[in-house]
Amino acid sequence: MSKVILVFGQVRNSEPTRPTLECLSLAAGLGGDVHCILLGTGAKAAAAAAGHQGASQVWANEDASFDKWDLAAVANTVDAAVKSTGAALVLVPATTHGKELAGKLAARHSAALASEVIGVSADGDGFKAVRPVYSGKVRATVKLSGSPVFATVRPNVLDVAAADSSKTATVNDLAAGQGDSRIQLVSVETKGDTGAVDLSEARVVVAGGRGLKGPENFHLIDGLATAFNGAVGASRMVVDAGWKEHRYQVGQTGKVVTPELYVAVGISGAIQHLVGMQNSGCIVAINNNPEAPIFKVADYGVVADLFEFVPKLAEELKA
């Protein structure tokens, strides 16, 4: 019997999220028996996609209470599945929710937890993981001992294998675990810009920096992001100056993003920024200073006045 690899899946609009698919692809590639947990509204509908991605078993609970995050309840629910499946490896997307779930369960099991991994491989009876450390300046290969072991998987790094619609998963019911009355979700507010693509999951990020000269010019970044169908990001300086909120910040003390395409506009490329985006697939830098350090990590550099160039680029993309 091959080992069970349990993926904690996240559901949005009755589909597994992209980071969930990445986890499933990773699990399937390890040659284990892949199980997937899906909770909340649309969980069972999402099970089909999980099956196409290689899950043999889906553990689902469609209770709408799971749509609102309750760490204790989710942890207790998942914990039951970890135990019942005898999972050797539990993969969780390294999202805000995923990371706190994995940490909590790893502590409960006194188990190894590798955070924000960008690769996992089988290693005899156990597993090894590769993860960026020192703000991405170094990559560590770590050996995870014991069973089960946990890993959170950094979104947007791993490929998703082509879905195979001939593969299906058996859908099983998973009983909901007990919540913790000491912590109550009061509200979930959706920001005005939900329509816009989320920064940490975006395929394309267009980020603006000091070169924009003022918040009144940030619409250039918004416009370019729309033209790329991408998300908006910002440098630390932009956030510290109050032009954009912290959730837009890329880099140290902001988000680490790894989109397929990162467009840095008017960002000089301080190390604090580079650590947040240097592992992006393709990097475009637009800056009027040919000596700006951002060009060192850029695949394509454009030395130009951004106020002139950015509208032209947006226009060209729409053409």
Contacting another protein within 14-33 (CB under 8 A): 17
Measured at the CA of 44, the angle between CA 41 and CA 49, to 5 degrees, comes to 115
Provide the 3-class DSSP secondary structure of residue 119: strand
The footprint of another protein on residues 200-239 (CB under 8 A) is 200-201, 204, 228, 239
- Examine residue 315 and tell whether it contacts another protein (CB under 8 A): yes
Q: Least distance (Å) from another protein to the CB of residue 242?
A: 11
Residue 161 or 311: the one with the smaller Cβ distance to another protein is 311
The footprint of another protein on residues 269-288 (CB under 8 A) is 271-272, 275, 278-279, 281-285
Cβ count near 187 (within 10 Å):
5
Residue 20 or 57: the one with the smaller Cβ distance to another protein is 20
> Which two structure tokens, joined as six digits, stand for 283?
């990097």
Q: Which of 232, 249, 231, 251 is nearest to 240 (CA)?
A: 249
Residue 50 or 277: the one with the smaller Cβ distance to another protein is 277
Q: Least distance (Å) from another protein to the CB of residue 301?
A: 5
Q: Least distance (Å) from another protein to the CB of residue 186?
A: 4
- Examine residue 166 and tell whether it contacts another protein (CB under 8 A): no
Residue choice 41, 65, 226, 252 for contact with another protein (CB under 8 A): 252
Q: Least distance (Å) from another protein to the CB of residue 132?
A: 6
Long-range contacts of 95-102 (CB under 8 A, 24+ apart): 95/10, 95/19, 95/155, 95/200, 97/10, 97/69, 97/71, 98/8, 98/10, 98/19, 98/152, 99/152, 100/71, 101/8, 101/71, 101/74, 101/75, 102/8, 102/150, 102/151, 102/152
DSSP, res 250:
B
For another protein (CB under 8 A), the number of binding residues is: 104
Rounded to whole angstroms, how far apart are CA atoms 190 and 184? 18
Q: Which of 57, 59, 20, 60 is nearest to 43 (CA)?
A: 60
Cα atoms in the Cβ-side hemisphere of radius 13 Å centred on 296 = 9
Q: Least distance (Å) from another protein to the CB of residue 308?
A: 4
Rounded to whole angstroms, how far apart are CA atoms 309 and 230? 18
| Distance (Å) of CA 48 to CA 19, 40, 66, 178 | 16, 15, 19, 27
For another protein, which stretch binds (CB under 8 A), given 36-44, 45-53, 158-166, 296-304?
A: 296-304
- What mask, x for binding another protein by CB under 8 A, covers residues 168 to 187? ------------xxxxxxxx
Q: C-alpha dihedral over 135, 287, 242, 237, to 10 degrees?
A: 40
Residue choice 159, 164, 173, 305 for contact with another protein (CB under 8 A): 305
Residue 54 or 269: the one with the smaller Cβ distance to another protein is 269
- Examine residue 317 and tell whether it contacts another protein (CB under 8 A): yes
Residue choice 31, 83, 140, 165 for contact with another protein (CB under 8 A): 140
- What mask, x for binding another protein by CB under 8 A, covers residues 85 to 124? ----------xxx-xxxxxxxxxx-xxxxxxx--------
Residue 143 or 213: the one with the smaller Cβ distance to another protein is 143
Residue choice 48, 55, 144, 158 for contact with another protein (CB under 8 A): 144
What residues are paired with 92 via a beta bridge?
A: 152
The footprint of another protein on residues 51-90 (CB under 8 A) is 69, 71-72
